[in-house]
Chains A and B, each alone.
Chain A
Amino acid sequence: MTKKRIVHYINQFFAGIGGEEKADVKPEKRDGVVGPGMAFKGQLTDVAEIVGTVICGDSYFNENEAEASETVLEMIKSYDPDIVIVGPSFNAGRYGVAAGAVAKLVDENLHLPVVGGMYPENPGFELYRKHGYFVEVGNSAATMRKAIPAMSAVVKQIIDGNEEVTGYMPKGLRENVFREERGSKRAVEMLVNKIQGKEFTTEYPMPTFDRVDPAPAVKDITKARIALVSSGGPVPKGNPDHIESSSASKYGKYSLKDIDDFTPENGQTAHGGYDPVYANEDLDRVLPVDVIKEMLANGEIGSLHDYWYATVGNGTSVANAKKFGTEIAAQLKEDGVDAVILTST
């Protein structure tokens, strides 16, 4: 078997040109391996050869993207590769974005497979995930020794022509495929296998969520300052901020000063994912303002934050929800809030 031709894209730092002070160097190409390419060579020597390395300063690439893209693409093309490797770029933001952009260039113009390595939170991954096989690597170059074999394994699978390549972070692409059996039958079979303790392969893996340690308990709730937050869409009548009924892009902040009890005249839900009749009739069913005000009056809680915060948790992206939560928390902390009640529908 003839060895596959690989071109490797790296930044100025990994090429040994220099650090931040050299981040504005223009693209250049060198025959053979440079820097981490040496380690890839060791892993891939039986099946592939790194014929050339293309190098560009991270700042230069990001500040002159059009020009840099054109030059880098020409340089890669000049080696007539079968596969392109970018990085690994760990959690280096500009390097990740540049490596991702190179992946996109290669994918769209040369239609060649690209293998990269990024820390999942590298912005370059989110931006360019669908243009390459990005292997999850650590957040710094200290993990290089783990990154190289993991990325090489993906390269080998591509060279072997594996139908299903594994070991990379999902590209977030959906592909239409036709199956012999209809969905309902496949689902029932899967369920039966699961019940019998047999093996089954899900067709839609559930997302994994990170965890947060429980915050310490409130010592004395009768002295605590409480805040109300909801993803059930409780808003003042008329939905003044036009919070979307699904896939909300914002949250609202509303004064509790003049509301002791919700009525059909002062509150409604903006949520489009459940029957709104009951919430519109009495919004206390979603956000318990009437009893909280009562508890405030009779001393069951110490005090109440002056506002409630509401969004619609209906198809809302995790990224948005996280952003809303972080922004709301900052305002609560500033006001000396001790604990939060969040209601969901």
Chain B
Amino acid sequence: MVKAIEATGLPIVHMCTIVPISKTVGANRIVPTVAIPYPLGNPELDPKDEKELRRKLVRKALKALETPVTEQTVFN
């Protein structure tokens, strides 16, 4: 899906937990996330901290979209 969207010229960032799969499949901008059942959260944190964690990850994703890349890049 990532590739089919990117093939139309739209920059896309893949936020996922299993980075090797994303790399194998061919995403070009990758932001690693927390865990499979809660990529953008962490139920062990209190709600405020959890939201802050999510905010940081999404900001990283926006940064990735603003970053020119020529090859598969993981934004840690």
Chain A interface (Cβ < 8 Å from any Cβ of B): 206, 209-221, 224, 226, 229, 231-232, 274-279, 281-282, 284-288, 290-292, 294-295, 300-301, 311, 313, 321-326, 328-330, 332-333, 337-345
Which B residues are CB-close (under 8 A) to A328? 1, 4-5
Q: Which residue of B lies closest to A301 (CB)?
A: B62
Give 22 CB contacts A-B under 8 Å.
Answer: A212-B6, A214-B71, A216-B9, A221-B63, A231-B1, A277-B37, A278-B37, A279-B37, A284-B51, A295-B58, A300-B59, A322-B1, A325-B5, A326-B7, A339-B65, A340-B5, A340-B10, A340-B12, A342-B12, A343-B15, A343-B16, A345-B37
Nearest chain A residue, comparing its CB with the CB of B8: A329
**Chain B contacts for A301, CB-based, 8 A:** 62
Cβ of B12 to closest chain A Cβ, rounded Å: 4
Query: Which among B4, B28, B69 is the interface contact of A324 at CB below 8 angstroms?
Result: B4
Binding site for A on B (CB under 8 A): 1-17, 22, 24-26, 28-29, 33, 36-41, 43, 50-51, 54-55, 57-59, 61-63, 65-71, 73
- Give the CA-CA distance A219 to B57 in the complex, in Å: 20
Measured CB to CB, the nearest residue on chain B to A323 is B4
Shortest Cβ distance from A327 into B: residue: B4
A272 to chain B, nearest CB (A): 12
Question: Provided the pairs A217-B66, A321-B4, A343-B15 are in contact, do residues A332 and B38 lie with their beta carbons within 8 angstroms?
Answer: no
Contact indicator B11/A313 (Cβ below 8 Å): no
CB atoms of B69 and A214 under 8 A apart: yes
Asked if residues B39 and A325 are in contact (CB atoms below 8 Å), the reply is: no
Which chain B positions have C-beta within 8 A of A206? 24
Bound together, the chains give a CA A208 to CA B34 distance in angstroms of: 27
Residues of A within 8 A of B67 (CB): 217
Residue of B nearest to A325 (CB): B4
Question: In the bound complex, do residue B9 and residue A341 qualify as a contact, i.e. CB atoms below 8 Å apart?
Answer: no
